[in-house]
Each structure stands twice: as C-alpha cells, then as structure tokens.
Amino acid sequence: MKRILALMMLLFVPALKANDIAPVDRHCDPAYLALDEHEKEFVLELDKLRKRLKLPPIRLCTKITEDCRRWSRHMNSVKQLYHGAPYENAARGCQDGRGTFQMWMNSPPHRAFLQSKSNNVFGIGRSDMWWTYRAAPDESSYAGGHRVHYSERTVTQTTQRTYTQQRPPRRPLQQAIRRLFR
C-alpha cells in the first residue's frame, strides 16, 4: 500500500528540478499585505524577474520598507531626487510599480542592483511619484542610519529614523576664535 501511494505521489505531484525555484506566496506575508497596490505591483515584477533568472526568492522586510517610504516622503517634500545610501535605487516620475520597475530595468546599474544574487531582503516605498528600493544580504547587515550631503542642508537619518537639519554654518569670526583656542 505504501509503495502504491509513493508511486501515485511521484506521478501526480510535479517535482521541482534542482535548478527550479519554489514560487513565493506573498499573500500570507504581513509585510506584503501592508503595501499599497502600486508597491505590490513592483514586488510582483521583482518576483517574476528573480524567478526568470532562477535566483532565490527575496524577502520583503518591514524595517527596510519603512525606511524606503520615509526617504520617498522626504524626497517628495523637498522635490528633489537624492540617493540616500549606496545600496538603493531612487526614482521619480512613475505612479505605478510596473513603470518604476521598467524604468530601473532600462538602466544598467539599477538593473544590476535588482538582479543582485547577494541580496536576500529588500524594502520598497513610494510617496506619490517618488520611489525608493533598498536591499541587503540580510537584516543585520542593513545599516538604516546614513547621512546625505547636498547643497542646502545635511539630512541625517538617526537610529529613531527621523530627519534633522544641520545647524547653519559658523561665521568667520566664530571660526577664527575657535582656531585660536584649539
């Protein structure tokens, strides 16, 4: 009887080949369920890409997604596109996830980051037409805090993940006095 059941299982249940990747069921993932419809579109496109390239599934991380959303909101508020970290893709201009995904796929460095074999966790966030995608090998290697320099101010993402402005530059007299007492 056991042999018959085993034989039926082999015949009727398709087995995965050694190089096949099991499909990802995102509908049970709370991090996926918290995304808006456009972010979900992007995630599904990323899953299709990784499956087509026979890469392992990449896990959606809530912490990274929160950082991505925060950075997208910041870019939207200052109306300028900035890369906040070396391990991210940033974009402006597409409302939907499919369009943003295609925009990054048409850019070789952005495409290479999306296709990276070393990344196992990621986050995606948007604010209107401002998008951020970040990925890392694992959650412990993801450094959430970073500093970005640009002309008007320095934005610091602290461990509490809030943005603060740098104090105004010192005046020449203050600088001269400080040099004297060093």
| pLDDT given for residue 154 in this prediction | 36
89-113 confidence digits (pLDDT tens):
999 999 999 999 999 999 999 999 9
Contact at 8 Å (CB) between 131 and 125?
yes
pTM value is 0.68
Backbone angles phi, psi at 60, to 5 degrees: -80, 125
CA–CA distance, 37 with 82 (Å, rounded to integer): 24
Q: Are 32 and 60 in contact (CB under 8 A)?
A: yes
Residues of the chain short of pLDDT 50, as ranges, are: 5, 7, 9-22, 145-168
Residues 6+ apart with CB under 8 A from 35: 43, 60, 65, 124
Give the neighbor-by-neighbor strand order of the sheet with 130-136. Answer: 59-60, 121-127, 130-136, 88-92
The pLDDT tens digits for 64-92 are: 999 999 999 999 999 999 887 778 999 99
Q: What is the pLDDT of residue 147?
A: 41
